[in-house]
Chains A and B, each alone.
Chain A
Amino acid sequence: MSDPRILRDPALRPTSTGTGAVRISGLSKHYAIGGKAMTVLDGIDLAIRPGEFVSIVGPSGCGKSTLLRLIVGLDTDYDGEIRLDDARVAGTGLERGLVFQDHRLFPWMTVAKNVEVALLNQKLPRERRDRLIAEHLALVGLADFGDAYPYQLSGGMAQRAAIARALVNEPKVLALDEPLGALDALTRVKVQAELQRIWMEAGTTMIMVTHDVDEALFLGDRVVVMSSRPGRIARIVDVDLPHPRDRASPLLHRLKDEILAELTREPREDDGTLVSFPPRIRN
């Protein structure tokens, strides 16, 4: 990817690898809570293009994190189908990565070692492995911090190290579960810009769950808006704006208002999706 202009326009962005297409169809997920089945996700259909950045927003409990766990295979109990490049997803696999909200770096390993463990089960020659580690630390701006222990990093640096670990396998799809949720507002804005650059350089398909509508719009080619109980896709918003983006863009602001309106919309009576709670007793 030598020509930066190619990166800036989603239409021109190369899908040269031709992989990383995720197709979710008829997906439902139930939990048993106190002996009663509860539907967490209901009839999710979503097709994600290779190299696309898809943001998912929705109220708490809409099952968006569960959806990511299903995609990466940490949870395998569901109805429906998830396919990556036409192969059905079964269990975890190195072609699908996940960045958690808490960085989950192993505190007993240096940053470089933490990245290295992701390559543990890839049969790679030593030099190639070392180069991959160095390249990915550089990609997230931590080239000089390979020997640091996680406790020595700031929150933003730790999360960037976690992104390096997730990307070092060169996964076709990277799921990000509120990766910036624990960061302060200022760091968050900085790491968002970093993440945009990393995504543009790596060309990996990314699916990010977030609570932050600004963040979803700033990064996403599309924003999936979910509703809760059960979790369903309420709306998919196209963000037709090339990367890297300008936060001040009027389009982003208009779309933000629309999405917030969707998220704060009063559920209609005929939705039939409301869980009925026992009436509150008043004295």
Chain B
Amino acid sequence: MTPRLKPAALALLFPALVLGWWEWESRQSAGHAYAFAPLEQIGRSFVDMLSDGTLLFQAGASLQRALTALLIGGSIGIAIGVATGLSRLLDRTATPLITTLRQVPILGWLPLVALWFGNGDGAKLLLVSLSAFYPTVLNTQKGMQAIETRYAEVGRLYGFTRWQALRLIAWPSALPLIFTGISQALAFSWIATIGVELLFSATAGLGTEMMAAQVAARTDVVLVCVACVGVMGFALNQLFGLLRARLLRWQPPIRN
């Protein structure tokens, strides 16, 4: 086994064990076969959903929702984080409110949002954006507040304007924390997307598909969706890790 293949093999060890146990459970009785759909049936549903385009369509809808919300919530979060990070007045007026609102779980807003905006795309986008907003605003703020005097003095020596100091010192030195915020926001918005789709089962999305499958007693379809959500979330996280490593290539590599 080549050294590169080894981690992949290790990562697949537990899934393989779970699948084995799963298959064993499904063969115990008819009731078991309902709760634990046999692997073969799941596999067939997966192929069916793939070939008729359902899976791609629903997964695409969820992905688009999550990324749009990440873009909206994330950019507002970064903008407010920069503002509150630079201005003490804004920090004192806005941060306590943000911290308080943050204590309310996303699902806590559900009744109000449903009342005001219904259960359409707008309501979902709002809730998912909110889940992307908190981690970006707090991390950006922390990053902007941690500007080192050491570097600020270099800016003074070379006559940096306020804008130059912001662009060349404060912003890049805050970037690692901003990226931490975005990667948390990415995970939260993916989770929140599936969550709101399950609860507001209207319009397209993997969550909606799962809800429909549950009602139709199609455990196999539910499981295909669950696996799809997991794998996509994992892939998003990995892709973002690559992007981060590329954009922050000035940081010394972290050794484990």
* Residues of chain A whose beta carbon lies under 8 Å from any beta carbon of chain B: 72, 74, 92-94, 97-98, 100, 102, 104, 106-110, 117-118, 120-121, 149-151, 169
12 A–B pairs (Cβ distance < 8 Å), ordered by A: A72-B157, A93-B159, A94-B158, A98-B157, A104-B151, A104-B154, A106-B151, A106-B154, A106-B172, A107-B251, A108-B172, A109-B172
Task: Check A117 against B175 for contact (C-beta < 8 Å).
Answer: no
Q: Is residue B33 contacting chain A, with contact meaning CB distance below 8 A?
A: no
Q: Return chain A residues, CB-CB under 8 Å to B175.
A: 108
Q: Is residue B121 contacting chain A, with contact meaning CB distance below 8 A?
A: no
Bound Cα distance from A60 to B249, whole angstroms: 38
Query: 1/0 per residue B114-158: CB within 8 Å of A?
Result: 000000000000000000000000000000000000110110111
Bound Cα distance from A208 to B189, whole angstroms: 55
Bound Cα distance from A121 to B163, whole angstroms: 12
Q: Return chain A residues, CB-CB under 8 Å to B160.
A: 120-121
Contact-residue bracket for chain B: 20 to 34
Q: A106-B154, A120-B164 are in contact. List 12 more A-B contacts (CB 8 A).
A: A74-B156, A92-B156, A92-B157, A92-B159, A94-B159, A100-B153, A104-B154, A106-B169, A108-B175, A120-B160, A120-B168, A150-B250
Known A-B contacts A102-B150, A117-B168, A120-B164; A108 and B250 likewise in contact (beta carbons under 8 Å): yes
Bound Cα distance from A74 to B159, whole angstroms: 11
A157 to chain B, nearest CB (A): 15
Q: Which residue of B lies closest to A93 (CB)?
A: B159
Bound Cα distance from A46 to B250, whole angstroms: 42
Q: Return chain B residues, CB-CB under 8 Å to A108.
A: 172-173, 175, 250
Known A-B contacts A149-B249, A151-B251, A151-B252; A121 and B172 likewise in contact (beta carbons under 8 Å): no
Q: Return chain A residues, CB-CB under 8 Å to B151.
A: 104, 106
Q: Which residue of B lies closest to A118 (CB)?
A: B158
Task: Check B250 against A149 for contact (C-beta < 8 Å).
Answer: yes
Task: Check B250 against A151 for contact (C-beta < 8 Å).
Answer: yes
Task: Check A107 against B168 for contact (C-beta < 8 Å).
Answer: no
Q: Which residue of B lies closest to A105 (CB)?
A: B154
Q: Return chain B residues, CB-CB under 8 Å to A93.
A: 159
Q: Which residue of A lies closest to B158 (CB)?
A: A118
Bound Cα distance from A88 to B49, whole angstroms: 79
Task: Check A107 against B250 for contact (C-beta < 8 Å).
Answer: yes
Bound Cα distance from A149 to B248, whole angstroms: 11
Bound Cα distance from A118 to B175, whole angstroms: 22
User: What are the 6 A-B residue pairs with the smallest beta carbon separation, nearest first?
Assistant: A108-B172, A151-B252, A149-B250, A108-B250, A121-B159, A118-B158
A65 to chain B, nearest CB (A): 12
Q: Return chain A residues, CB-CB under 8 Å to B150.
A: 100, 102, 104
Known A-B contacts A149-B250, A151-B250, A151-B252; A106 and B168 likewise in contact (beta carbons under 8 Å): yes
Bound Cα distance from A110 to B250, whole angstroms: 8
Bound Cα distance from A202 to B151, whole angstroms: 26
Task: Check A109 against B250 for contact (C-beta < 8 Å).
Answer: yes
Q: Which residue of A lies closest to B154 (CB)?
A: A104
B180 to chain A, nearest CB (A): 16
Q: Return chain A residues, CB-CB under 8 Å to B161.
A: 121
Q: Which residue of A lies closest to B172 (CB)?
A: A108
Q: Return chain A residues, CB-CB under 8 Å to B168.
A: 106, 117, 120
Q: Return chain B residues, CB-CB under 8 Å to A150.
A: 250
Bound Cα distance from A117 to B172, whole angstroms: 14
Contact with A74, one of B153, B173, B249, B251 (Cβ below 8 angstroms): B153
Q: Return chain A residues, CB-CB under 8 Å to B252.
A: 151
A232 to chain B, nearest CB (A): 26
Bound Cα distance from A22 to B250, whole angstroms: 39
Q: Which residue of B lies closest to A162 (CB)?
A: B154
Bound Cα distance from A51 to B153, whole angstroms: 25
Q: Which residue of B lies closest to A113 (CB)?
A: B168
Q: Which residue of A lies closest to B153 (CB)?
A: A74
Bound Cα distance from A143 to B160, whole angstroms: 26
Q: Return chain B residues, CB-CB under 8 Å to A74.
A: 153, 156-157
Task: Check B157 against A97 for contact (C-beta < 8 Å).
Answer: yes
Q: Return chain A residues, CB-CB under 8 Å to B169.
A: 106
Query: 1/0 per residue B240-256: CB within 8 Å of A?
Result: 00000000011110000
